[in-house]
Amino acid sequence: MMQTLNVALGERSYPIHIGCGLLADAALIAPHLKQKKAVVVTNTTVAPLYLETLTGALARSGVAAQPVVLPDGEQYKTWETLNLIFAALLGSHCERGTTLIALGGGVIGDMGGFAAACYQRGMPFIQIPTTLLSQVDSSVGGKTAINHPLGKNMIGAFYQPRLVLADLSTLDTLAERELAAGLAEVIKYGLIRDPDFFVWLENNLAALLARDKAALATAVARSCANKAEVVAADERETGERALLNLGHTFGHAIETGLGYGEWLHGEAVAAGTLIAAELSARLGWLMAGDVQRIERLFVRAGLPVQAPALGAARYLELMRHDKKVQDGQLRLVLLERIGRAVVTDAASTADIEAAIEARCRCA
């Protein structure tokens, strides 16, 4: 059975459809296309698995879909790869009314969305996320970006899709490590604003790891419902949306510091969340038992809870590029309790360094 949520952004509102076998159902996509022409941006891993199902279904409903198959990997989330998309769009004479469909994980979604935002100053865009992480987070909310060697997701735009189609069947082919990485972002929603969901995750983690479709449907829908509420309230991240970055300031430092693609985004977020939890405990907000409870869930999910030993000074240097830095002041998302996060500059540099050292592999 398909569930449909709505991201409420006035005339830019859009549906999120969640269910099994949706890729083959062009009737869900066709009403959102302005022309009988689309471009499908995907990569060398996803194309052999799902491209034909999608383009075949579109062809049967009279839509010609041209594929653009990119190299796979976080290290390709760059200007150079973006230019490959622009070359394909120009080469096939795409117009402002042609729709760009991103078929893949968060890397494809972020890059495809940024290309759509830029091409002829904006072309319609549809997200078809095929990883757990992209179904629960990156496909919703309109953040698009590429990486810079000095900082993760530093070049980008807010640009909302017209539709998000989360086909749970695609998760069957996902590597275990990638499934776990997606769970890091799922657990995040429980930690920042949905304590009942955190408890549900504690009770249903085994079913999620076994890819039980009913459990996955609940997790994806509950995550998207949380994200849609936050995005509707604060699309441009002037306030509440920053809470979605729990663990990300440390996590982005891990990804940039190690080199893109070394740790998966979700893995870096997991280790970063444990640093944030450690710091929250040092401020007297979380109890030691809360930190252990969070750690237990991440460990059960197969996620790292110790960060790489880059050295606290290097972490702080990398974190200076964080998008939450304001007037040179670092602000962090920390936990007042499980289910309630805040953005704060309350932590001293010494506390931050101590929390990093306590959670690094060398400690």
Task: List residues with catalytic annotation.
Answer: 121, 143, 185, 227, 237, 241, 245, 248, 252, 265
Nearer to ligand GLY, 165 or 246 (CB): 246
* Interaction site with ligand GLY (CB under 6 A): 137, 141, 143, 241, 244-245
Nearest to 67 by CA among 81, 46, 83: 46
DSSP string, 161-216: -SEEEEEGGGGGGS-HHHHHHHHHHHHHHHHHH-HHHHHHHHHHHHHHHTT-HHHH
Q: What are the residue ranges of helices labelled H in 194-337?
A: 195-209, 213-233, 248-258, 265-282, 288-301, 312-319
Rounded distance, CA 323 to CA 252, Å? Answer: 11
Nearest to 266 by CA among 145, 139, 132, 143: 132
Nearer to ligand GLY, 148 or 323 (CB): 323
| Contact pick of 58, 181, 221, 224 for ligand NAD (by CB under 6 A) | 181
> Residue 170 touches which of ligand GLY, ligand NAD, none (CB < 5 to 8 A by kind)?
ligand NAD
Nearer to ligand NAD, 70 or 347 (CB): 70
Site for ligand NAD in 253-282 (CB under 6 A): 265-266
Nearer to ligand NAD, 233 or 350 (CB): 233
Nearer to ligand GLY, 68 or 112 (CB): 112
| Contact pick of 173, 326, 348, 349 for ligand NAD (by CB under 6 A) | 173
Task: Name the DSSP letter for residue 307.
Answer: B
Q: According to the binding rule CB under 6 A, does residue 217 interact with ligand NAD?
A: no
Residues 6+ apart with CB under 8 A from 14: 6, 7, 160, 161, 162, 163, 164
| Contact pick of 51, 94, 105, 124 for ligand NAD (by CB under 6 A) | 105
Amino acid identity of 311?
A: G
| Contact pick of 19, 29, 43, 146 for ligand NAD (by CB under 6 A) | 43
CB 127 within 8 A of CB 14: no
> Residue 55 touches which of ligand NAD, ligand GLY, none (CB < 5 to 8 A by kind)?
none
Q: According to the binding rule CB under 6 A, does residue 81 interact with ligand NAD?
A: no
Burial class (CB in 10 A: 0-12, 13-18, 19+), 325: middle
Which residues contribute to the site for ligand NAD (CB under 6 A)? 43, 45-46, 49, 72, 74, 77, 104-108, 110, 130-131, 133-134, 137-138, 141, 143, 153, 170, 173-174, 178, 181, 265-266
